[in-house]
Amino acid sequence: MLMSSLQKGDELAFNILYERYSDRILYYMFKMLRQDEGKAQDFTQDVFLKVVEYSDKFDTNKSFKTWIFTIAANHCKNHFRSNKQMVEMNSSVSSHLFQDTKEDEYDKNEFRKRLNTEVDKLSYTYKETFLLRYKEDLKLKEIAEVMDCPLGTIKSRLNHINGVLSEKLRAYETLFNDKTK
């Protein structure tokens, strides 16, 4: 296992881990830090410094992916706590988000752009849950571990997120239903 090698000081093991996870951590940071690319790059480097610094604390019987995303999530949380920038999600649906347009004007790229826009509007906690589940494909139990909360809370958050995004992206429903016929 790579972490066992890293714990013994193997630099090649670190390089392999960095190559495997750096783009994923960078993307996660970019989304969590409101698309601030410079800060995302700095935070990604901080995460990998912590991987090296705390490698001896890693339990090699556990998932490295879960561990590194826990480090990344905690780094973001600490940043927002220290800067008091936590913003709670406004649960009301804005009627101006979608204007009546013909369904043929929408395509999959437009849908992805709108989805990204709506995900960016989610509060920190909901955005983090969404990214870990749908971008990083972590299991619910792993997300609960990363976010240090009960599994039921993760399920509830995902249900809420799906409801909110479903409502905001309802205009695309007919597009995808028509194209699958």
Convert the pLDDT of each residue in 12-32 to its tens digit. 999 999 999 999 999 999 999
Residue in 35, 28, 2, 37 with CA at minimum distance from that of residue 16: 2
**Amino acid at site 114:** R
The verdict on 109 and 79 lying in the same domain is: no
The verdict on 6 and 66 lying in the same domain is: yes
Please say which residue of 52, 83, 114 terminates a domain. 83
Q: For the chain, what percent of residues have pLDDT higher than 90?
A: 51
User: Is residue 102 a part of any domain in this protein?
Assistant: yes
Convert the pLDDT of each residue in 42-95 to its tens digit. 999 999 999 999 999 999 899 999 999 999 999 988 888 776 543 333 333 333
User: Is residue 157 a part of any domain in this protein?
Assistant: yes
Total-model pTM: 0.66
What pLDDT is attached to residue 9?
Answer: 87
What pLDDT is attached to residue 172?
Answer: 67
Containing domain of residue 33, as a range?
2-83
The verdict on 107 and 174 lying in the same domain is: yes
